[in-house]
Structure 1
């Protein structure tokens, strides 16, 4: 037999007995349908854990009509009468079930967005950024820098760098004083992205230049003079 409809799987996921023996046998042997049902059940469990056991009010008929159209259902709340009343009850039960699932997902999504918004407000804030321009000896290099400040006042420099592989060297990240008279090493960049704590007391208005250099493995902690990219921080 063909696969079960997604709306029928949704009803099964929330406990509605809407499958015939043949359909249940298909579920037992069809990996695709079984996996889809398992994923829907997982979503329902998450939604129910968020909502608790509160009952959901059944929506007006025009809302059900819209949901049915979206799911591709042909039955409507008023489609049955007289001898078709058992079918009508089944349709209405299905309507309540699908509405419960839709409402649960909407509420769950809202809760997730709210948590994300709170986390965003409590997370670090970007206070400065820079585009890092390549030096002539590294024409394919491009980089960015972003200074993030946490609620406790600590600051982190986040840098990215692409197109700058130099054999037998490692890449080091620096803050350079505006007049180039002093510099501070923040650490070694491993890969194309890295985060580096900025020492407390460093005045970024004075050390606005972000530099990434190619350093030979020679044990010398000084800047090699081979800058890959550099750029000046712009403050928000």
Structure 2
């Protein structure tokens, strides 16, 4: 049996956007967007777990059909890595083969992304996979009041840059044993799945991020 689950880490106590995980986005609590996305892929996912330390988040997660893992205080701090919450979930449930991480701060995902990503994950027998997107900006450092280009030469056209990619956070897939044994979500040979979509720029930490997500939803409507 090849059991695959989704884990959504959603702690309370956000500082920049208070109670963001229960804030209504298009009439639906933020954390519920990821639960519903997981439920829409039930042919792949057997169970959906929300790891949280917050009573309101627990109520919403249960309402939308997720199972709850109570996250202890020592794993709920601002600096605590996500992998520790995932490991805690795996230590408290029955045997699991694959874990799909859906972050509640990335509520908008292309409908077919999870299915495509999981097919790539299985086909390549990956230890882990995560989504990336290309960045077309010109980066540089500032030293002694001078701008020093990092990924281009002065005068070089943007379309001629060597491609750079960023981790967009839309989804991660890992073998459970990687999380349990290595305390990490992404291995050194993790497969970078390239995603080109407006949703890759949505990562909600501030009210401005939230407003942008609503804007994209309204355009889609």
> Shorter-chain TM-score: what band?
under 0.3
User: What's the TM-score once normalised by structure 1's chain length?
Assistant: 0.20
The structure whose Rg is larger is 1
- Higher relative contact order at CA 8 Å, sep ≥6: structure 1 or structure 2? 2
User: What's the TM-score once normalised by structure 2's chain length?
Assistant: 0.21
Name the one with the larger helix percent. Answer: 1
